């Protein structure tokens, strides 16, 4: 579609643009669906009439705009976007941009204001008329706390102005407001005003709040009465002695079996009452993410047994509820353990699981995976104890596409490391659809030989190993779709071996390595690259694969092994 549109714009003459508006609407709709924002933007520049046709699709899809690598460019783009919204709500623009957006992400406005340098050229450009009054609020703040208050005040004012403009437009056009998703941000939203404000958005499907304390029966009733399409709720944190009962009341006041997604991203005090309320949506709930759970919350998870429609489940234990170094988790009670096993065995639609420091997680998975119809695609684990049954169960997950497992080194004495490593390797070799693998298991050369020969579809690898040398780096030639190679363990790879490996995969007729990224995370100093050698490797990867190269050094292997638990900090997958 992009090339077709480009040809239409560059064919010369007016014929290419003199198509019915309905046709260009279909073109713009498809471009927005493909997230081709650059073509949409250039299409809008061709004429005023085309801008009126295309810009609504661009602003409707603005919530999916990717972040730019250059922070300054990203800041300038955010300034352009938010200025157009605010100015349009005041009638200061040719088009009513704010009436087209579907995602009102006020948290992004707050983040933009936080990173907007004070008294900079960009700040003066952003706050020029007709929104110059907001600059006065920022100029009057001299301390960090005053600046935070000023930014929050601006966000609240913008929310009010944009909402008023949207509702006026909707009433004039006799159409419902376009807003479907609201991210209310991290500022202190006035709780009494929230129900009335949400009632304005009849198409609302998603709500993001920083604090679950804003949720109550009044908010739920407002959503139930005015937002029939509401499906998704995300809270930054739900902490407090009354939050368990308060969330239970909220869930009960919603229309039963309408909530499809519930997620908490920070500390929470949820327990049996909230989980029982959540069970009123057992037939609709598909995505559940409960982060920073207390022990009380963990021991209440068996209450979720009726929720069998889950497709994605993420559980994380709060840091203060995790066992101290050198100790195991306190085991779940038999009642809770068996309740979780029975619950997850019946979640046959489950495709994504992420357990971080959940007690007995490997034992639970070891029981449900072999005997149930659960067929996972994404599995991410941080394990504090390891049950041998888990590796046997993993062999049956042949449809697994993404696997991330971190083993805590302090627990490796639980059974012989070689025994666990062999079991893990054999399980991986059965998962031939894996596209991404990330683990800190210390593989040997024979393990890498088996793994690279058994995973034809793998694209992203982040692996630990006892020592990666010139011989073992060549094993990755078998991975014909490799896009990312991150070696976590110590390495002694020479520049010539690495260049030879890159040249060979680049010339392979079946190779698909566009965007290849290579990182040697702990190259030992005796094998340090010179600056010229580093540059040669980086240029080859850039020119041949349009990718990147990073090399970091470590002093010796023994020192590396001591520091391994601290060095583990790779990016988690977001389900």
pLDDT digits (tens, 9 = 90+) for 433-450: 999 999 999 899 999 999
| End-to-end alpha carbon distance in the chain | 29
* Separation CA 276–CA 282 (nearest Å): 10
Burial of 425 (0-12, 13-18, 19+ CB in 10 A): buried
| pLDDT value, residue 413 | 47
* Separation CA 545–CA 436 (nearest Å): 19
Domain ranges within the chain, ordered by starting residue: 2-64, 71-163, 440-569
* Separation CA 224–CA 202 (nearest Å): 10
Q: What backbone phi and psi angles, to 5 degrees, belong to 251?
A: -60, -40
Provide mean pLDDT across the span 285-297: 94
As given in the structure block, the two tokens for residue 152 are 């929050």
Provide mean pLDDT across the span 479-508: 94
Residue 38 CA, distance from chain mean position: 23
pTM recorded for the entire structure: 0.84
* Separation CA 494–CA 347 (nearest Å): 49
| pLDDT value, residue 528 | 92
Give residue-wise pLDDT tens across range 346-397.
999 999 999 999 999 999 999 999 877 899 999 999 988 888 899 999 999 9
> What string of DSSP letters covers 252-312?
HHSPTT---EEEE-S-B---HHHHHHHGGGTTT--EEEEEEE-HHHHTTGGGGTT----SE
Task: Give whichever of 89-103, 323-337, 378-392 has the largest mean pLDDT.
Answer: 378-392
| pLDDT value, residue 559 | 47
* Separation CA 387–CA 400 (nearest Å): 20
Mean residue pLDDT of the chain comes to 86
Q: Which residue has the tokens 């209440």?
A: 300
Confidence check: pLDDT of 185 > 90? no
- 308 — pLDDT class (breaks 50, 70, 90): very high
């Amino acid at each position: 579609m992009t090339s077709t549109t480009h040809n239409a714009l560059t064919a010369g003459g007016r014929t290419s643009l003199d198509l019915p508006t309905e046709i260009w609407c279909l073109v713009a709709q498809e471009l927005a669906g493909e997230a081709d924002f650059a073509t949409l933007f250039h299409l809008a520049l061709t004429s005023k009439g085309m801008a009126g046709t295309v810009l609504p699709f661009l602003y409707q899809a603005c919530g999916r705009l990717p972040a730019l690598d250059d922070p300054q460019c990203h800041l300038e783009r955010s300034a352009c976007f938010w200025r157009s919204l605010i100015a349009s709500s005041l009638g200061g623009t040719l088009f009513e941009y704010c009436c087209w957006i579907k995602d009102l992400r006020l948290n992004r406005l707050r983040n933009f204001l936080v990173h907007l340098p004070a008294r900079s050229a960009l700040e003066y450009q952003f706050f020029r008329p007709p929104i110059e009054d907001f600059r006065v609020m920022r100029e009057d703040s001299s301390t960090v706390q005053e600046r935070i208050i000023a930014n929050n005040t601006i966000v609240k004012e913008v929310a009010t102005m944009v909402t008023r403009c949207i509702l006026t437009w909707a009433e004039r056009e006799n159409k419902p407001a376009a807003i479907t998703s609201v991210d209310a941000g991290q500022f202190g939203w006035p709780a009494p005003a929230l129900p009335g404000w949400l009632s304005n958005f009849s198409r609302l499907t998603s709500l993001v709040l920083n604090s679950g304390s804003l949720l109550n029966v009044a908010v739920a009733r407002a959503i139930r009465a005015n937002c029939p399409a509401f499906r998704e709720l995300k809270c930054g944190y739900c902490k407090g002695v009354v939050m368990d009962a308060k969330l239970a009341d909220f869930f009960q006041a919603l229309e039963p079996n309408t909530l499809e997604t519930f997620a908490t991203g920070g500390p929470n005090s949820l327990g049996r009452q909230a989980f029982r309320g959540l069970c009123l949506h057992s037939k609709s709930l598909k995505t559940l993410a409960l982060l920073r759970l207390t022990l009380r919350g963990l021991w209440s998870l068996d209450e979720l047994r009726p929720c069998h429609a889950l497709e994605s489940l993420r559980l994380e234990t709060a840091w203060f509820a995790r066992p101290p170094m050198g100790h195991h988790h306190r085991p779940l009670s038999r009642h809770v353990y068996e309740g979780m096993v029975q619950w997850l065995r019946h979640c046959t639609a489950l495709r994504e699981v992420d357990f971080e420091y959940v007690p007995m997680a490997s034992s639970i998975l070891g029981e449900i995976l072999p005997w149930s119809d659960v067929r996972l695609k994404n599995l991410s684990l941080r394990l504090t104890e390891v049950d041998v049954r888990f590796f046997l169960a993993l062999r049956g997950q042949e449809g697994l596409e993404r696997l991330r497992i971190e083993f805590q080194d302090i627990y490796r004495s639980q059974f012989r490391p070689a025994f666990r490593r062999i079991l893990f390797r054999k399980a991986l070799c059965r998962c031939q659809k894996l596209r991404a693998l990330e683990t800190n298991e210390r593989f040997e050369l024979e393990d890498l030989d088996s793994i690279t020969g058994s995973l034809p579809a793998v694209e992203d690898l982040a692996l630990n190993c006892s020592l990666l040398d010139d011989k073992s780096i060549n094993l990755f030639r078998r991975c014909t779709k490799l896009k990312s190679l991150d070696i976590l363990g110590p390495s002694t790879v020479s520049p010539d071996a690495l260049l030879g490996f890159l040249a060979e995969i680049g010339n392979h007729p079946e190779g698909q390595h566009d965007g290849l990224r290579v990182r040697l995370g702990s190259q030992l100093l005796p094998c340090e690259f010179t600056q010229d050698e580093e540059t040669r490797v980086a240029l080859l990867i850039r020119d041949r694969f349009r990718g990147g190269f990073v090399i970091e050094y470590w002093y010796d292997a023994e020192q590396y092994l001591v520091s391994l638990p601290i060095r583990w900090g790779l990016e988690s997958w977001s389900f």
